[in-house]
Amino acid sequence: MSRLPKDKRNQVILVSLVILLVVVGLWYSLIRYQQDNLKRIVDQRNGALTKLSQIQDTIKHSKELEEDLLSVSNTLATQEEDMVSGDLYSAMVNSIRKFKLRHKIEIPQFDSAGTAMDVNLLTKFPYKQVTMTISGTAHYHDLGKFIADFENQFLFSRILNLELVPASASGPEEKDKLAFRMDIVCLVHPEGSHPANTP
């Protein structure tokens, strides 16, 4: 370049700079844009492949999921058969009387079960509840066994608001007895279409 005249040399430098600017401009305007576009398309493709893989896995496991759903639905239906339905008062009284035969406990008083109402413990719970108050007498250990056995056998019932006071003693065997009062809360079958069942 030192042999070229100064004008020619300046023109060559100017042309070189213009070519360099054009190449840089092309790089940023076309090639870089296309590379970003390609990267975005590859990311979209990878995302679509991931979704496709998830869908294929779901399709593969849909039979298992369907079987699990059927199994859980059958289990729920079987468990719902143990819920109170029909005439709530009669169902609860009969169940409690039948259950107490295995225990040394006297339950002479059953207060009305009333009507089924929304469950007040959980919001938007799909079942209703009914409450019955019972009163009676029993020895301390017999009452404890009755309560434990009751809640273990009747999974959809709970004993609440237990009140204990010494029973009025009319004889030596009666002096250790307690008078009790408790609420029994039972879930009610949602359809109410089954005959009266246990609590």
- CATH (domain of 178): 3.30.70.60
Could you tell me if 25 and 61 lie in one domain? yes
Sign, Cα dihedral of 88, 186, 195, 109: negative
Per-residue pLDDT band for 91 (boundaries 50, 70, 90) equals confident
pLDDT tens-digit readout, 133-191 = 999 999 989 999 999 999 998 888 889 999 999 887 666 666 788 999 999 888 887 76
Could you tell me if 121 and 59 lie in one domain? no
Q: Is residue 194 part of a domain?
A: no
Q: Give the per-residue pLDDT at 195.
A: 40
Could you tell me if 151 and 175 lie in one domain? yes
How many contiguous H segments (helices) and E segments (strands) does the chain have? 4, 5
Q: 111 near 97, Cβ under 8 Å?
A: no
**The total number of structural domains that make up the chain:** 2
Could you tell me if 50 and 10 lie in one domain? yes
Could you tell me if 161 and 111 lie in one domain? yes
Could you tell me if 93 and 73 lie in one domain? no
- Among 80, 107, 133, the domain-final residue is 80
Q: Is residue 73 part of a domain?
A: yes
Neighbours of 39 (CB within 10 A): 10
Domain extent at residue 56: 1-80
Report which of 150, 159, 38 is spatially closest to residue 105, judged by C-alpha positions: 150
Q: Is residue 168 part of a domain?
A: yes
Q: Is residue 199 part of a domain?
A: no
Output 173-180 pairs: Cβ under 8 A, ≥24 positions apart: 174/137, 176/139, 176/140, 177/137, 177/138, 177/139, 178/137, 178/138, 178/139, 178/140, 178/143, 179/135, 179/136, 179/137, 180/135, 180/136, 180/137, 180/138, 180/143
Could you tell me if 92 and 183 lie in one domain? yes
Could you tell me if 96 and 76 lie in one domain? no
- The residues pairing with 182 across neighbouring beta strands, listed in sequence order, are 134
Could you tell me if 76 and 131 lie in one domain? no
Model-wide pTM > 0.75: no
Could you tell me if 96 and 75 lie in one domain? no
Q: Is residue 193 part of a domain?
A: no
Could you tell me if 30 and 99 lie in one domain? no
pLDDT tens-digit readout, 4-44 = 788 888 888 888 888 988 888 877 777 778 888 889 999 99
8-state DSSP, 34: H
Q: Is residue 126 part of a domain?
A: yes
Could you tell me if 74 and 154 lie in one domain? no
